[in-house]
């Protein structure tokens, strides 16, 4: 058992990185309390709206206000807490967990695994809130949003002999992308333009990841910052 950190279950071969149990419980409690508070506000708002004949949503407000007490309060508070619980479950489902061993690294999110063999991973680092694995061709094997404690992650990688660095060794090679960027192929520019539209719409991360992988096949590495794309070429490619 790992003696350094809670919720990092260490055997001779594996380190599992997840959020500490106390943090998960705290998130659920806070979200459920916020949900209950939202339910209480809905009750107050409904009772206020029925006193204003000119206000919108009179129908739903009158329907809620017609529910006798204490059932109205109990029902709205309960509904709010259930909603908070659902939000917490979704957040936990979307969190990244990391399994590190001497043989491989496994990322798990939404019950989907990504595995990276030891000999493919040259370096690893955190770029803000993103955990990045670099391959032997200077390209990125993975770039995933990671809310795990930075020191815990660094300790796990170094404990298993991976090369951990404090920052992206190629950070100075990135350039901000603009449409029809010189130095990029037409296909790469088209893919980056499609990603830019997805970023503006705050579309699913799955779509963004697929386009990132397409760009990687063209020898282009992309990173996002405040919905702006920055890119670099893998040397000898692009």
- pLDDT < 50 regions, the chain: 1-11
The alpha carbons of the chain give a radius of gyration, in whole angstroms, of 24
DSSP code of residue 166:
S
pLDDT at residue 5 in the model: 40
Q: What is the pLDDT of residue 94?
A: 87
CA pair distance 60, 49, nearest whole angstrom: 10
What is the reported pTM?
Answer: 0.78
pLDDT at residue number 3? 37
CA distance 165 to 78: 47
* Strands (E) located in 65-217: 97-101, 104-109, 112-117, 123-127, 130-134, 140-145, 175-176
Position 236 scores a pLDDT of 59
């Amino acid at each position: 058992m790992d003696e350094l950190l809670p919720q990092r279950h260490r055997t001779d071969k594996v380190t599992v990185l997840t959020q500490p149990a106390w943090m998960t419980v705290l998130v659920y409690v806070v979200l459920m309390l916020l949900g209950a508070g939202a339910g209480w506000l809905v009750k107050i708002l409904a009772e206020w709206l029925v006193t204003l004949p000119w206000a919108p949503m009179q129908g739903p407000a009158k329907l809620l206000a017609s529910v006798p007490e204490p059932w109205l309060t109990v029902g709205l508070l309960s509904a709010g807490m259930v909603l908070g619980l659902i939000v917490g479950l979704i957040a936990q489902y979307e969190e990244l967990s990391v399994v590190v061993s001497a043989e491989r690294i496994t990322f798990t999110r939404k019950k989907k695994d990504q595995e990276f063999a030891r000999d493919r991973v040259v370096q690893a680092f955190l770029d803000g809130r993103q955990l990045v694995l670099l391959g032997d061709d200077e390209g990125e094997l993975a770039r995933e949003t990671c809310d795990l404690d930075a020191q815990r992650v660094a300790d796990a990688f170094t404990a298993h002999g991976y090369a951990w660095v404090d920052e992206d060794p190629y950070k100075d090679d990135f350039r901000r992308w603009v449409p029809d960027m010189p130095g990029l192929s037409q296909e790469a520019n088209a893919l980056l333009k499609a990603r830019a539209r997805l970023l503006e719409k705050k579309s699913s991360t799955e779509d963004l990841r697929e386009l990132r992988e397409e760009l990687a096949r063209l020898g282009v590495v992309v990173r996002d910052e405040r919905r702006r794309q920055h890119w670099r070429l893998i040397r000898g490619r692009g």
